[in-house]
């Protein structure tokens, strides 16, 4: 039986129901069930009203055809076998065998394997291309050394991108139960995905290329809001900086040694017996004065806040939680108790509105003394002394007034905690951008928090692993991500630290972090050579902050990753499809880190076009492999022809000085185009139009360069007043025009 709805169709056959919703011309939602139930969206889907496009429905004896401007979706009315075709009728993706299989304990969907490559899947170890591999998604506090055989890590993104020579698409399985993906590991004929519980509810996301698939996927799951600019600066952490005198010593040393740094983190030892929202009375007895001193030096402070609340009736957070019934229950309805850092602890049920409001109030009160951001750790949620490393799967949560098991809540627990934290920060500082860092996550986390990749090791293998992992996280909708520089566990060597900091300054999130009992990991801890090189590259990052901030603006509008695999920009070049040890910072900079010891050169592939060495200006023909020199104080960085890069003077910290002048570097090419964004970097006023948007273009012909600098939007009066143009790698320039006028000095004053 076929039923037409406002959003799509409903087909019923032999006790099963298929619901198809047209979200856009290129996004279709498929929900298949054998129960009398409604589709349940997870927190991953951003709640908004879709502008449903026009679509047509055609019915024959055996099939139903749903047609949008870009897709033809063919459904067998009896078997629910689905074929997705492009507007020309060519198959993009189709079911295999029995298609959707529904069972009591799991749901799964088989697809014919037509793809050459698979990308995405969020935080997974291994290489960039995931074809031929299998995974599960179940947030896990995995402390053992991560490698390609590590199947479970801290975050779950049940989303992937499939690509072959003709088509590119994405599939997002909107199911928060433990999910699984077999991408051709079992068979060369098919792949499948599913979950151990929940619904078969997935979104088919078509795009002309990977860029459009990511843009369409983040239309569903939301995009990052602009972060505070200081969060893009250098950040220093350790488990743990204690007592408060040590914190101040580290801060002062950064300033004395002229190494830029914006943030210092406080790990669990700042607390009283690991009780969240408290301060240790002995080691941080004058914490308010410490926070003031740090602020006077230009430092922001981010404190760790775990979900586990110590079981102690004298402790106000526990007492309030018990008295108001805020904690997760076991299957018998008794408050669940598990062991974490404070010993026996209870866990807030963040899925409940009232619990998030309560936690948000705790956050608001806690940060009032001068804390600038919150670091959510142990939020898988991790539980000690259990074989599963988490709470029992039959524990009970309340979501929208209904009881659900921890099997369903587990993977989204961190997102709800991040939401509570964000709401708390906004409650206290209504017009200030919140900063939250999370270890665990589910799809859609980009709306609430930045992420880091958890407890890595001081190994060259983990420096390498950082690249494909962060690139796939970016392709999965989260542009604000990084790894612990130098490795968290183990003693980092001088050379490894140098090579890691050289690479990490070009990643979205830059933080050095190390574990208790390991060697110090501040830039000066490895001797003068490492200190000088770290200073040099951290200053390069601060010079590039306008360019990096522009990439975050682009991410907020289109969902594009800040750190990108080469295939994202050069999909037509098959040589880029499997490259995992180089990456793009935006569309203009190509980074090729050295990730092996005792190496002073490495092979680099440059895609088609002309490329210039960022440091020497040497010219390279693209479409070729090169053996590039990379002595210890250098990392291979290349700029593509026609690139425009906006820079500023390096500061000790973001708010040290007002930026009156910016430099616009124009790299030789026939033409180039760039959009530069500017606002105060702190408040939410940009949402009210208080920002500047400039479009910069140039054309170069026969020794003459014509530059256009257009104000697309001008609502922020305190931006840079002067833009100075620097022409890079041009052999001969006879004449320069800016906005149609010939100039001797290559600059423009903004009024």
Tokens 């087909």 belong to: 11
At residue 494, the pLDDT reads 98
Contacts of 202 (CB under 8 A, 6+ apart): 29, 30, 109, 171, 172, 173, 174, 175, 193
d(CA 307, CA 276): 8
d(CA 436, CA 414): 12
Burial (CB count within 10 angstroms: exposed 0-12, middle 13-18, buried 19+), residue 403: exposed
Residue 688, both tokens: 């009210």
pLDDT tens digits for range 342-358 = 999 999 999 999 999 99
d(CA 163, CA 170): 9
DSSP structural state of residue 683: B
Per-residue CA distances from 668 to 251, 617, 621, 709 (Å): 41, 10, 13, 17
Query: For the chain, what is the mean pLDDT?
Result: 97
At residue 368, the pLDDT reads 98
Candidates 74, 123, 380, 531; catalytic one:
380
Per-residue CA distances from 17 to 353, 434, 700 (Å): 32, 43, 60
DSSP characters for 207-225?
ESSHHHHHHHHHHHH--PP
**pLDDT higher than threshold 90 for residue 218:** yes
372 catalytic? Reply is: no
Share of the chain above pLDDT 90, in %: 97
Burial (CB count within 10 angstroms: exposed 0-12, middle 13-18, buried 19+), residue 57: middle
Tell me the average pLDDT across 469-490: 98
pLDDT tens digits for range 696-747 = 999 999 999 999 999 999 999 999 999 999 999 998 899 999 999 999 888 8
Q: How far apart are the first and last CA of the chain?
A: 65
Residue 396, both tokens: 């009970």
Tell me the average pLDDT across 502-506: 98
d(CA 71, CA 87): 5
Kindly state the greatest CA–CA separation across the chain: 82
d(CA 596, CA 593): 9
**All domains of the chain, ordered by start, with CATH?**
2-221 (2.60.40.1760), 277-452 (3.20.20.80), 658-749 (2.60.40.1180)
At residue 750, the pLDDT reads 79
Candidates 74, 269, 377, 393; catalytic one:
377
Closest CA to 121 of 468, 560, 439, 484: 468
377 catalytic? Reply is: yes
Contacts of 737 (CB under 8 A, 6+ apart): 704, 705, 706, 707, 743
Closest CA to 149 of 138, 162, 134: 134
**pLDDT higher than threshold 70 for residue 10:** yes
pLDDT tens digits for range 52-61 = 999 999 999 9
Alpha carbon of residue 364 to chain centroid: 25
Tell me the average pLDDT across 522-527: 98
DSSP structural state of residue 469: H
pLDDT tens digits for range 234-286 = 999 999 999 999 999 999 999 999 999 999 999 999 999 999 999 999 999 99
Alpha carbon of residue 457 to chain centroid: 21
- Please work out, in degrees rounded to the nearest 5, the angle formed at the alpha carbon of residue 77 by the alpha carbons of 83 and 184: 35
DSSP characters for 327-363?
B-B-TTSSBP-EEETTEEEE-B-TTSHHHHHHHHHHH
d(CA 121, CA 106): 20
At residue 1, the pLDDT reads 86
- pTM higher than the cut 0.75: yes
pLDDT tens digits for range 92-149 = 999 999 999 999 899 999 999 999 999 999 999 999 999 999 999 999 999 999 998 9
Neighbours of 204 (CB within 10 A): 21
Closest CA to 82 of 116, 55, 54, 109: 109
> pLDDT band at 751, cuts 50/70/90?
low
679 catalytic? Reply is: no
d(CA 656, CA 654): 6
Q: Using alpha carbons only, how large is the chain's radius of gyration in Å?
A: 26
Closest CA to 577 of 567, 590, 587: 567
d(CA 293, CA 301): 11
Share of the chain above pLDDT 70, in %: 100
SS3 category, 365: helix
Candidates 393, 455, 489, 679; catalytic one:
455
d(CA 462, CA 125): 9
d(CA 204, CA 214): 12
d(CA 590, CA 746): 27
DSSP structural state of residue 448: T
At residue 47, the pLDDT reads 82
pLDDT tens digits for range 419-477 = 999 999 999 999 999 999 999 999 999 999 999 999 999 999 999 999 999 999 999 99
Tokens 């430099």 belong to: 663
At residue 746, the pLDDT reads 87
Contacts of 240 (CB under 8 A, 6+ apart): 266, 267, 268, 269, 270, 516
At residue 747, the pLDDT reads 83
Closest CA to 513 of 298, 270, 264: 264
Residue 740, both tokens: 């149609």
Total residue length of the chain = 751
Contact 725, 696 (CB under 8 A): no
């Amino acid at each position: 039986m076929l039923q037409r709805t406002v959003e799509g169709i409903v087909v019923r056959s032999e006790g099963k129901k298929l619901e198809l919703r047209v979200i856009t011309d290129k996004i279709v939602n498929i929900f298949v069930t054998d129960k009398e139930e409604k589709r349940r969206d997870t927190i991953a889907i951003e709640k908004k009203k879709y502008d449903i496009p026009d679509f047509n429905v055609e019915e024959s004896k055996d099939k139903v055809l749903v047609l949008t401007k870009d897709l033809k979706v063919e459904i067998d009315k009896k078997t629910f076998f689905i074929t997705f075709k492009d507007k020309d009728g060519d198959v993009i993706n189709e079911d295999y065998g029995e298609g959707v299989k529904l069972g009591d304990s799991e749901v799964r969907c088989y697809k014919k394997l037509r793809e050459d490559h698979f990308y995405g899947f969020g935080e997974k170890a291994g290489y960039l291309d995931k074809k031929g591999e299998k995974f599960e998604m179940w947030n896990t506090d995995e402390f053992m050394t991560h490698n390609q055989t590590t199947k479970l890590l801290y975050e779950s993104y049940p989303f992937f991108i499939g690509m072959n020579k003709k088509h590119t698409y994405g599939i997002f399985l909107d199911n928060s139960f433990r999910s699984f993906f077999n991408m051709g590991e079992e068979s060369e004929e098919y792949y499948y995905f599913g979950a151990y519980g929940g619904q078969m509810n997935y979104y088919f996301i078509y795009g002309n290329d990977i860029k459009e698939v990511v843009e369409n996927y983040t239309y569903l799951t939301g995009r990052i809001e602009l972060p505070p600019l200081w969060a893009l600066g250098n950040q220093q952490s350790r488990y743990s900086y204690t007592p408060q005198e040590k914190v101040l010593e580290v801060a002062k040393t950064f300033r004395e040694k002229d190494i830029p740094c914006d943030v210092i983190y406080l790990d669990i030892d700042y607390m009283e017996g690991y009780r969240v929202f408290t301060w240790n009375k002995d080691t941080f007895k004058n914490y308010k004065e410490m926070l003031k001193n740090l602020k006077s030096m230009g430092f922001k402070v981010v404190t760790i806040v775990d979900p586990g609340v110590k079981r102690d009736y004298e402790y106000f957070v526990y007492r309030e939680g018990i008295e108001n019934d805020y904690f997760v229950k076991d299957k018998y309805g008794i408050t669940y108790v598990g062991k974490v850092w404070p010993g026996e602890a209870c866990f807030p049920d963040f899925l409940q509105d009232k619990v998030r409001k309560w936690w948000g109030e705790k956050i608001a009160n806690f940060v009032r003394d001068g804390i600038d951001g919150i670091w959510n750790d142990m939020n898988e949620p991790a539980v000690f002394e259990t074989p599963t490393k988490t709470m029992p799967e039959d524990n009970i949560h309340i979501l929208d007034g209904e009881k659900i098991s921890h099997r369903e809540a587990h993977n989204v627990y961190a997102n709800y905690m991040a939401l509570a934290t964000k709401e708390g920060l906004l409650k206290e500082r209504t017009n200030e951008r919140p900063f939250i860092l999370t270890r665990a996550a589910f799809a859609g986390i980009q709306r609430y928090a930045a992420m880091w990749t958890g407890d890595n090791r001081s190994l060259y293998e983990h420096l390498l692993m950082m690249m494909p992992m962060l690139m796939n996280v970016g392709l999965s909708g989260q542009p604000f991500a990084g790894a612990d520089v130098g490795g968290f566990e183990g003693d980092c060597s001088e050379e490894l630290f140098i090579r890691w900091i050289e690479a990490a300054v070009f990643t979205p999130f830059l933080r050095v972090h190390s574990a208790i009992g390991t060697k110090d990991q501040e830039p000066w801890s490895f001797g003068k050579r490492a200190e000088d090189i770290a200073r040099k590259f951290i200053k390069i990052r601060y010079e590039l902050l306008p360019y990096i901030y522009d990439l975050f603006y682009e991410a907020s509008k289109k969902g594009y990753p800040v750190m990108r695999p080469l295939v994202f920009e050069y999909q037509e070049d098959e040589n880029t499809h499997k490259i995992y040890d180089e990456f793009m910072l935006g569309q203009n900079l190509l980074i090729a880190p050295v990730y092996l010891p005792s190496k002073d050169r490495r092979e680099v592939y440059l895609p088609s076009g002309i490329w210039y060495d960022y440091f020497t200006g040497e010219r390279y023909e693209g479409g070729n492999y090169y053996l590039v020199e990379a002595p210890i104080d250098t990392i291979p960085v290349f700029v593509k022809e026609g690139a425009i890069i906006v820079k500023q003077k390096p500061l000790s910290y973001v708010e040290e000085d007002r930026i009156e002048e910016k430099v616009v570097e124009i790299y030789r090419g026939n033409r180039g185009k760039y959009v530069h964004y500017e606002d105060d970097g702190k408040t939410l006023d940009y949402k009210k139009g208080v920002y500047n948007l400039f479009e910069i273009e140039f054309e170069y012909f026969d020794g003459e360069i014509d530059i256009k600098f257009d104000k697309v939007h001008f609502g922020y009066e305190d931006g840079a007043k002067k833009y100075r143009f620097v022409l890079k790698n041009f052999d001969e320039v006879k004449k320069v025009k800016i906005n149609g006028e010939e100039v001797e000095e290559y600059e423009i004053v903004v009024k």
